[in-house]
């Protein structure tokens, strides 16, 4: 799951810089033949804790240098995964296991760049990091616009299923739109509106910029507010400043607004006052149906962005076990292989972010699941597709590229399971479903859970939008039914009290920390059972002709129906 996403990126490229190589890292075709040995790891057909431990301990060893994209540790990781695919007899999709992902790093020059608001002739230059953090997704060294009219568009949401349109009756072409974070459901806690407390995709900052771009705006500023954003201004300062890695999109980012940014809450209030407007009152109006966008009369925005651009390349690692009857229909298992790499500025002696839980466990799980399928007496009738994606910690990049440039038609993916960070916790009675109540995949999961004497439960903090912060969302927002489930907290021994304490300890002491390391003392009975349950979800699809869908009313259902109907 990604929060402090840019440290790795910086160290990855600085690692390259450190080695004095200016040429960007590329994925070579020869990697194929240099596939590393799976180091004589014996493995049995069954999904076992020992097999999982073998793979996790390897990927999380210092040798793999925290598996940052576009680094030697990343290359080693890709080769290791490909070697397992080869061992299991998985075929490449196309002529290679490696599917290149073009990356671009953009670093705003905060000395020479500026974002100012002119109010009735008075120019207010917003202070970087104090008032505003801004950047451009245009892959250009210089981007600017002048005197762009400003408009407050409430939550900036266009949701036909809720008859909601915050851009109703206003043309924002070339204008600067100012937007609230999260959604009216969170603001009103009305369960019938935008899923109530649970964040919808409309509430995510990514959606806000995407919708503003669709409307032709020149710039889009999201107003930061700690509770609805689910993190403080410090996270905004840290995550969106410095080198930003992203996918190199085919249009070079031209389809995005020229400037994206966050406004601090104080700065936003001051900007609204300078237009004679009351942000708090407008915020109240914005959460009610029928809200109309408000021109911030007398206010214009001007910005100049100078950005250093650097290109690189990484790869998703994909392998397929061809189905016997319907080889062109795919059951997908996905897990990100990347982690935060080595950070030389990290306090303490240990600079390597080994990422044992996040996400060596997920990679181990999909390999073990593939082994089970590959050694089953009866071959699945549908194909089982494994995709180990890169760049998750940098913003779900590998999975986003998979969604944009799919290696198999998305309409032919029956459903997918994303595995991200399974805690090596003791056996539990429950299974946590992130984004609970979304699709018929949960019905399949429920059957498998019952089979293991377990029950399903929603994640405890739906307002934080965890459903939108891991790789499954990249395919979900393309319509593909995706499941993200995790080990439970209702421990068979010690109950929820023990379970909450266990996950709290991980989050506080090991999450995105060099201490996220494999330990020989790990007892993997709990993880083994969870991975077997997830295998059974895939099994139910791979040996059937069912097409599970999003539930009626779900935000992705219409997309899927259109996808399935398309030729």
Helix, strand, coil abundance in the chain, percent, nearest 5: 35, 25, 40
CB-wise, 220 or 363, nearer to Zn ion? 363
CA angle 503, 506, 508 (to 5 degrees): 110
Q: Where are the alpha helices (DSSP H) in 230-278?
A: 233-239, 265-274
Q: Which structure tokens are listed for 74?
A: 């990343």
Beta-bridged to residue 506, according to DSSP, are none
Strands 98-108 and 294-321: antiparallel
CB-wise, 157 or 366, nearer to Zn ion? 366
CB under 8 Å to 124, separation ≥6 — which residues?
116, 117, 118, 271, 274
What is the widest separation between alpha-carbon atoms in the chain? 77
CB under 8 Å to 19, separation ≥6 — which residues?
none
Q: Which structure tokens are listed for 227?
A: 């509770």
Nearest distance from residue 423's CB to Zn ion, in Å? 12
3 state DSSP class of 176: strand
CB-wise, 6 or 134, nearer to Zn ion? 6
Reference 456, options 469, 464, 447, 465; nearest CA is 447
Nearest distance from residue 2's CB to Zn ion, in Å? 7
Nearest distance from residue 362's CB to Zn ion, in Å? 7
Nearest distance from residue 80's CB to Zn ion, in Å? 18
Residue 225 sits at φ, ψ, to 5 deg, of -155, 120
Beta-bridged to residue 124, according to DSSP, are 117
Nearest distance from residue 355's CB to Zn ion, in Å? 8
Q: Are 434 and 466 in contact (CB under 8 A)?
A: yes
Distance between alpha carbon 509 and the CA centroid of its chain, in Å? Answer: 22
Nearest distance from residue 540's CB to Zn ion, in Å? 25
Binding residues for Zn ion (CB under 5 A): 1, 358-359, 420-421
Scored b (16 or more CB within 10 A) or e, 88-111 reads: bebebbeebbbbebbbbbbbbeee
The whole-angstrom separation of Cα 39 and Cα 41 is: 5
Residue 308 sits at φ, ψ, to 5 deg, of -85, 130
Nearest distance from residue 214's CB to Zn ion, in Å? 29
CB-wise, 420 or 490, nearer to Zn ion? 420
Write the DSSP symbol of residue 410.
Answer: G
Nearest distance from residue 1's CB to Zn ion, in Å? 5
CB-wise, 1 or 410, nearer to Zn ion? 1
CB-wise, 213 or 421, nearer to Zn ion? 421
CB-wise, 8 or 331, nearer to Zn ion? 8
CB-wise, 119 or 423, nearer to Zn ion? 423
Scored b (16 or more CB within 10 A) or e, 422-442 reads: bbbbbbbbbbbbbbbebbbbb
CB-wise, 166 or 358, nearer to Zn ion? 358
How far the first Cα of the chain sits from its last, in Å, is 34
CB-wise, 394 or 439, nearer to Zn ion? 394
CB-wise, 342 or 396, nearer to Zn ion? 396
Give residue 160's region: left, alpha or beta (phi > 0; psi -120 to 50): alpha
Nearest distance from residue 115's CB to Zn ion, in Å? 32
Q: Is the preceding omega at residue 393 within 30 degrees of 0, hence cis? A: no
CB-wise, 420 or 536, nearer to Zn ion? 420
């Amino acid at each position: 799951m990604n929060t402090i996403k840019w440290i790795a990126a910086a160290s990855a490229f600085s690692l390259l810089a450190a080695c004095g190589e200016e040429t960007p890292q590329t994925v070579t075709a020869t990697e194929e033949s240099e596939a590393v040995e799976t180091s004589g790891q014996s493995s049995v057909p069954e999904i076992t804790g020992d097999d999982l431990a073998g793979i996790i301990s390897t990927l999380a060893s210092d040798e793999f240098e925290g598996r940052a994209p576009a680094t030697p540790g990343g290359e080693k990781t890709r080769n290791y995964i490909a070697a397992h695919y080869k061992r299991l007899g998985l075929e490449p999709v196309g002529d290679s296991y490696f599917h290149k992902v073009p990356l671009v790093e953009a670093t705003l020059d905060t000395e020479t760049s500026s974002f100012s608001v002119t109010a009735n002739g008075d120019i207010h230059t917003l202070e970087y990091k104090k008032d505003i953090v801004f950047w451009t997704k245009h892959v250009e060294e210089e981007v600017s616009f002048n005197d762009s009219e400003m408009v407050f568009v409430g939550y900036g949401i266009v949701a036909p299923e809720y008859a909601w349109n915050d851009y109703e009756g206003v043309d924002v072409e070339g204008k600067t739109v100012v937007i609230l974070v999260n959604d009216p459901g969170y603001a009103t806690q009305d369960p019938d509106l935008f899923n109530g407390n649970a964040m919808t995709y409309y509430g995510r900052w990514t959606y806000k910029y995407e919708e503003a771009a669709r409307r032709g705006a020149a710039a889009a500023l999201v107003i930061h507010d700690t509770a609805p954003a689910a993190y403080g201004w410090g996270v905004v300062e840290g995550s969106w400043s410095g080198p930003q890695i992203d996918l190199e999109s085919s249009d070079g980012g031209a389809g995005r607004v020229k400037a994206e940014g966050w406004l601090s809450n104080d700065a936003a209030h001051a900007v609204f006052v300078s237009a004679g407007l009351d942000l708090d009152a407008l915020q109240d109006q914005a959460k009610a149906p029928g809200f109309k966008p408000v021109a911030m009369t007398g206010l214009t925005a001007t910005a100049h962005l100078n950005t250093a651009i650097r290109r690189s390349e990484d790869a998703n690692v994909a392998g397929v076990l061809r189905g016997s009857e319907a080889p062109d229909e795919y059951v997908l298992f996905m897990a990100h292989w990347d982690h935060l790499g080595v950070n030389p500025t990290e306090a303490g002696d240990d600079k390597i972010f080994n990422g044992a839980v996040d996400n060596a466990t997920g990679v181990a799980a999909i390999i073990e699941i593939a082994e089970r399928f590959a050694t089953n007496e009866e071959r699945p009738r549908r194909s089982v597709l494994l995709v180990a994606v890169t760049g998750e910690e940098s913003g779900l990049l590998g999975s986003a590229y998979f969604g944009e440039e799919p290696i198999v038609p998305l309409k032919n993916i029956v459903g997918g399971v994303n595995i991200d960070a399974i805690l090596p916790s003791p056996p539990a009675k429950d299974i946590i479903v992130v984004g609970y109540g979304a699709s018929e995949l949960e019905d399949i999961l429920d059957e498998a859970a019952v089979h293991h004497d377990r029950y399903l439960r929603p994640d405890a903090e739906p307002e934080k939008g965890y459903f939108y912060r891991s790789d499954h969302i990249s395919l979900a927002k393309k319509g593909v039914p995706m499941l993200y489930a995790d080990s439970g907290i209702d421990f068979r021994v010690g109950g929820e009290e023990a379970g909450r304490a266990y996950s709290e300890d991980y989050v506080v002491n090991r999450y995105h920390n060099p201490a996220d390391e494999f330990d020989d003392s790990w007892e993997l009975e709990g993880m083994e059972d969870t991975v077997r349950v997830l295998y059974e979800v895939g099994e139910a699809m791979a040996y059937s002709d069912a097409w599970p869908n999003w539930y009626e009313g779900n935000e992705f259902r219409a997309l899927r129906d259109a996808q399935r109907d398309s030729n």
